[in-house]
Amino acid sequence: MMYEDFYKNGFAFIENFDPLNLNIVLKDLTEGKVKQGFSLQQKYSSTLDLRPNVIDYSSDFLEVLKKNNVKTFLRKSTLRDTTLLLLLQCFHR
């Protein structure tokens, strides 16, 4: 079962994941090509956060979640309904 793998390993993979145009956006970010009004800021060691937020940066971030049905994937992996958590994270700015 998917949830057993998640709780045993601490992660799970989305099979047949389609990144759509997200790879292009991420490539630009890793090359330092950040849109005006945005920045990559380090909050923790070895991480960078897109500021002020990822949602306004590119619709590709949300599209990849919808296209790959991440909501259902999370529910099957964790046996929890994460809808409210996802909504709070998306709209918390």
One pLDDT digit (tens) per residue for the chain, 93 residues? 667 877 787 777 777 778 878 899 999 999 999 999 999 999 889 889 999 999 899 988 888 888 888 888 888 888 887 766 655 566 555
- Cβ(11)–Cβ(73) under 8 Å? no
Helix (H) or strand (E) segment spanning residue 49? strand 49-51
Provide the CA 83 distance to its chain's centre, in angstroms.
14
Position 84 scores a pLDDT of 62
pTM exceeds 0.75: no
The whole domain housing 50 covers 2-91
The number of domains in the chain is 1
